[in-house]
Amino acid sequence: MNDLKSKGTFKFFPRLNGQKDLSWTSSRNSINSVLAEAHFSSDSLQDRLVRAMAAEQVIPIKEVLECFEFVARIRKDLRSEYMVDLCCGHGLVGMLFALFEPKVTSVTLVDIKEPPSLRKLLSCLFPIAPWIEEKITFQRSRLDNLADIPEGASIVSAHACGLLTDQCIEMAVERKGNVAVLPCCYPKRSCNAPKALQLEFGHERAFDIDRTYRLETAGYHVRWSTIPAVITPMNRILMGMRRS
């Protein structure tokens, strides 16, 4: 059996697929202009965005690439008028939907606190993509106290820690919206999958199999995908689309 986690090519930045040394793509150092000019020098919108972020050294290169590649795999199925980026951190996933998808008219970024990097990112992106300014709002909130999310909103979340991913999925089910998550931090003691699955596939994959069954039972068609494992080993995407 092929291991899904070993697969994954770059979609937003396909030129990287031909490079032999991609160890820098997992770096937690802030992206800088030297790196950006070396690898993102074209006049494409995505390259200009990366160079703008690099000029301010606003977030790590790892997080830039995982957000772009996550969005590349979910954007066609998840785009909707109203998007919600839960446990958003710096909020780049939601910002990219606002930027690349004309159908998206409103993006709510949600986290328990607003990191300084969120406003810094927006200040980098606004001059290049001024149309996103009126689309994006930030809401400081716990997930269990979140209000004003309309029914049918699409929900996304990249690396919501542990069971926060499950809360994101539950919120999508409650609001009858499509959902895509990039899980991380699988707490072994909280895995509800049968022991047989955990022993056969490992608790991380069993965790996501259990999440898949829960979504399917709730009326979703579920698809698995990956971002390149060279960026992060926590690279599996679960995407749920409501059945008609």
The predicted model scores a pTM of 0.94
The pLDDT assigned to 205 comes to 95
Summarised one tens digit per residue, pLDDT across range 102-143 is 999 999 999 999 999 999 999 999 999 999 999 999 999 999
Residue pair 209/201 in contact by the 8 Å Cβ criterion: yes
Going by their DSSP bridges, the two strands 136-140 and 106-111 should be labelled as parallel
- The pLDDT assigned to 147 comes to 78
- pLDDT below 70 — which residues of the chain? 1-8
Please give the residue range of the domain that contains residue 20: 4-242
Provide the pLDDT for residue 7.
52
Q: Give the burial class of 200: count Cβ atoms within 10 A of its Cβ; 0-12 exposed, 13-18 middle, 19 or more buried.
A: exposed
| CATH number (domain holding residue 225) | 3.40.50.150
Distance CA 22, CA 185 (A): 24
Give the CA count within 13 Å in the CB-facing half-sphere of 42: 10
**127: three-class secondary structure by DSSP:** coil
Tokens linked to 90: 């710096």
Number of domains in the chain: 1
Taking the CA atoms of 202, 204, 210 and 213 in sequence, report the sign of the dihedral they define.
Answer: negative
